[in-house]
Amino acid sequence: MCSEFRPYYSVIFTSIQTDNTEGYNEMAQQMEEFAKEQEGFLGINSARDTVGITVSYWESLEAIKNWKQQSDHLIAQQKGRKEWYRWYNVRICKVEREYEFNLS
Amino acid sequence: MCSEFRPYYSVIFTSIQTDNTEGYNEMAQQMEEFAKEQEGFLGINSARDTVGITVSYWESLEAIKNWKQQSDHLIAQQKGRKEWYRWYNVRICKVEREYEFNLS
C-alpha cells in the first residue's frame, strides 16, 4: 500500500450466459480491443466459470461513461441483452487501496 | 440505479497460480464457507481462466479487515503465498453504483 496511492475506478461486470453464445467470443474480444483504445483505460481482466467476471479499470468516472456510450459498445450491449446474457450486473467502484504479491 | 443506493465494499482478488495447485480447491471452498459466516459479508463470485478473479462484497471496511485477520484465513493466505500463487493483487473498492439486467 503506497502512501501516494491515487484512486481510480473499476467496473465489475458479472454475467450468466444464455445457451446461445454464437458470436459472443468474437464480440467480447473486439470490445476488449476497443476498450483498450479508450482514453482513461487502465486495464482489464476476464474469467468465466458458471459465472463470468470481467473487471475493467479506468482513470475516471467520465472515462467509464464515455466507454459505456461508445457506439460499437452500445451495439454490443444491445446484442448482449437480446442474445447472450440471461443475467448481468454492473458495479461501478472506486478503488481505494491496493496491494500485490509477487513470488520471489 | 436507485436513488437510495447505499454504498458497500468489494474486494477484487486477481491471481495467477503456480504449477502446484494441490489442496487449492479444497482450501478455496473452505475459505468461501468461512467468508459467508463473517459479519458484514454480502456475497462472493469466482471464476478462473488464465487469471483467477474472486470478488467478494462487504458491508464495511471493518468487515473486510476482520476477514483479512480471521485466523483460518491467515493460514490460507500464508499457504497461498508459499505454494499456490505466482502473483496476486488485492483491490479494496467502494461500490458507488450498480445496475442489473434480467432476461424477461
What is the ipTM metric for this complex?
A: 0.93
Rounded to an integer, the average pLDDT of A74-94 is 97
Which parts of chain B sit beneath pLDDT 50? 1
Do B97 and A13 meet the contact criterion of CB atoms below 8 Å apart? no
For position B5, what pLDDT does the model report? 86
- At A5, the pLDDT band (50, 70, 90 cuts) reads confident
Partner B contacted by A1 (CB < 8 A): no
> pLDDT tens digits, residue range A24-82?
999 999 999 999 999 999 999 999 999 999 999 999 999 999 999 999 999 999 999 99
Do A53 and B55 meet the contact criterion of CB atoms below 8 Å apart? yes
For position A39, what pLDDT does the model report? 97
Q: Which residues contact B78 (CB under 8 A, 6 or more apart)?
A: none
Where is B77: in which H helix or E strand? helix B71-79
Look at A98 and B89 and tell me if their CB atoms are within 8 Å: yes
3-state secondary structure of B87: strand
Do B98 and B9 meet the contact criterion of CB atoms below 8 Å apart? no
For position A104, what pLDDT does the model report? 75
Residues 36-95 on A with a CB inside 8 Å of B are: 45-53, 55, 81, 85-95
Adjacent-strand bridge partners of A45: A55
Burial class (CB in 10 A: 0-12, 13-18, 19+), B33: exposed
For position B54, what pLDDT does the model report? 97
Residue A93 has pLDDT above 90, yes or no: yes
